Amino acid sequence: MRGWVLMAPTLAVIFALLVVPTALLIAQSFWTQTGLVIDRTPTLGNYIRLLSDDGALYRMLLARSLLISAAAAFAVLCLAFPVAWFIAFHVKRSRLTWILLVTVPFWISYLLRIFSWKVMLGFGGALNSGLIAVGLIEQPIDALLYNRFAVILALTHSWSAFAVLPIYVSLQKIDPHLLEAAADLGDTALKRLWRIVLPLAMPGLSAAFLLVFVPTMGDYITPSLVGGTEGAMIGNAIASLFGKQNDMPLGAALSIATMISVTIVLALAALTARLSGLWPGRR
């Protein structure tokens, strides 16, 4: 009973702010809007539009966003894993300090973290000026900013510390004796990583992937600040449909389509991990 009393407020908030609005969003994706008037007769029109030639741009943006987000999430895992490993196995006394050090950048506004990449990559930015000062280039390179690479880089930077903590938690649970035993039996370092560490760290790794992949799929601030036209993502299209273009039902349908795509990609990723034997429980 006391448990329910403690649980009820959170459940009520989630119900009112998540369950009901999502249901309404789904309902709205079956409506149509002409001008400012919304017609609530259910129709599949919006989805048909997204699948027809009319929706080619949206489909392209969706595919690109999946690639950009997956690339950023993968880069985040690669960067964060060794750090989490270092904190879990090599840091003895100052673990809290290290965890704080990788978390503190998150206390700085997301907008500032993204904007700082304009300073880094811009025409007169740090990277160009640095390269000129060193003498590697003579003219600033203007292709650093406003492209997909800049979006991936900015996203990787902004989300990377998010991954350290979950990976660290799962690495910490690994018994070092397992690694010693494997080494004694002749496993190379790479084999130990693949056969012991990665499967046991999988819960943390997949949580980290999820924590980066899902939110970046909806990001429209980063692409609009550093992406240019080449780096525009599905979030920009959705934001525009709910704003300037003012076609909320189509925007709702596009949001649902995005969510479905995210779910499919995550299911495929889980399946691949399981088949390759990396997922714990089946080896």
How many CB atoms lie under 10 A from the CB of residue 71? Answer: 19
State the nearest-atom distance from the C-beta of 260 to another protein, in Å: 11
State the nearest-atom distance from the C-beta of 238 to another protein, in Å: 6
Token output for 56: 């080619």
Considering beta carbons, is residue 148 or 157 the nearer one to another protein?
157
Burial classification of residue 147, based on how many CB atoms lie within 10 Å of its CB (0-12 exposed, 13-18 middle, 19 or more buried)? middle
Considering beta carbons, is residue 21 or 277 the nearer one to another protein?
21
For the chain, the farthest-separated pair of C-alpha atoms sits apart, in whole angstroms, at 73
State the nearest-atom distance from the C-beta of 247 to another protein, in Å: 12
CA atoms of 237 and 254, how far apart (whole Å): 9
State the nearest-atom distance from the C-beta of 283 to another protein, in Å: 25
Considering beta carbons, is residue 103 or 276 the nearer one to another protein?
103
Instruction: List the one residue out of 51, 73, 71 whose CA is nearest residue 254.
Output: 51
Q: Are strands 37-39 and 32-34 parallel, antiparallel or unpaired?
A: antiparallel
State the nearest-atom distance from the C-beta of 16 to another protein, in Å: 8
Considering beta carbons, is residue 220 or 279 the nearer one to another protein?
220
Instruction: List the one residue out of 7, 174, 10 whose CA is nearest residue 81.
Output: 174
Considering beta carbons, is residue 161 or 202 the nearer one to another protein?
161
CA atoms of 105 and 197, how far apart (whole Å): 28
CA atoms of 33 and 8, how far apart (whole Å): 37
Considering beta carbons, is residue 70 or 83 the nearer one to another protein?
83
Q: What is the 3-state secondary structure (H, E, C) of 78-116?
A: HHHHHHHHHHHHHCCCCHHHHHHHHHHHHHCCHHHHHHH
With beta carbons less than 8 A apart as the criterion, state whether 72 and 83 touch. Answer: no
State the nearest-atom distance from the C-beta of 190 to another protein, in Å: 14
CA atoms of 49 and 34, how far apart (whole Å): 15
State the nearest-atom distance from the C-beta of 46 to another protein, in Å: 13
Radius of gyration of the chain (CA): 23
Considering beta carbons, is residue 11 or 60 the nearer one to another protein?
11
Considering beta carbons, is residue 8 or 277 the nearer one to another protein?
8
How many CB atoms lie under 10 A from the CB of residue 101? Answer: 14
State the nearest-atom distance from the C-beta of 82 to another protein, in Å: 5
